[in-house]
Amino acid sequence: MANGGTLFLDEIGELPLHVQVKFLQFLQEKTFLPIGATKQETANVRIIAATNRNLTEEVENGNFRADLYYRLNVLPLRVPTLRERKEDIIGLTQFYLNKSNEQHNRTCRLSKEVLKKLQEYDWPGNIRELENLMERFVLIAPDEQIEVTDLPSHLNVKKDDKFNFDYFEFGGSITNYLEEIERDVITKAYQQYETTRETAKKLGITQSLLMRRIKKYNIKK
């Protein structure tokens, strides 16, 4: 279907190794065997592949073929995460809110306080998370004006300088509490920077120590 045009492959990093072999062959020879067929077919397509994984690390870990990576990595483009371009949040918010309003026949709007909260949030789920939140507002908000009280709890955390001892009242220890903080800091840094080397440098620790912590806390990119 894409012959003579562009084939976009989303989440290329999720491709199993045995399929990577077949895909590499297609890239090199422009031939493929359709499911159930006995004869090879050809297709001349431009490939655009996207992933949220660090493929250089995936190659090092043996999860992605090096030859396929270098075959694909002709013109790399990095799309900054939403937390790296806070100035886009208002425009994207309005776009997806208008889209959901039109789809569900509503006229919801966001208060200034809500917009401020949205700009302060880190958006680990990027654009998809923002889009889903706008649709959620339109679907369940009781009034047309979206207020802070309509925000999910993780987006409506109040800043408080007083230490909260609730954690210890439920049997926690300071060791576990500090581990929670360490896990949170490493997770956020690991999501923000491209490589473990850069992440470790920003955190002021060695790369080997960072890798041990990533393994310990089972942190995913």
CATH at 66 = 3.40.50.300
pTM of this prediction exceeds 0.75: no
Report the amino acid identity of residue 62: G
Angle between helices 196-203 and 207-217 (to 10 degrees): 100
> Does 1 reside within a domain?
no
Quote the domain boundaries for residue 99: 82-155
> Does 187 reside within a domain?
yes
Tell me the two tokens of residue 13: 């990093």
Query: Where among 16, 39, 72 does a domain terminate?
Result: 72
Report the amino acid identity of residue 88: D
Phi, psi of 32 (to 5 degrees): -155, 160
Query: Where among 20, 50, 72 does a domain terminate?
Result: 72
List Cα–Cα distances, 162 to 120, 171, 174, in angstroms: 20, 20, 17
Q: Show contacts of 108-112: CB within 8 Å, 24+ apart.
A: 108/137, 108/138, 108/141, 108/144, 108/145, 108/146, 109/144, 109/145, 109/146, 110/137, 110/146, 111/145, 111/146, 111/147, 111/148
List Cα–Cα distances, 192 to 71, 82, 100, 118, 122, in angstroms: 26, 10, 29, 18, 10
> Is residue 88 domain-shared with residue 51, that is, in the same domain?
no
In tens digits, the chain (221 residues) has pLDDT values of 999 999 999 999 999 999 999 999 999 999 998 889 999 999 999 999 999 888 998 999 999 999 999 999 999 998 888 888 889 999 999 999 999 999 999 999 999 999 999 998 888 888 989 999 999 999 998 899 999 999 988 887 665 545 555 555 555 677 777 888 888 889 888 888 878 988 998 888 999 999 999 988 888 87
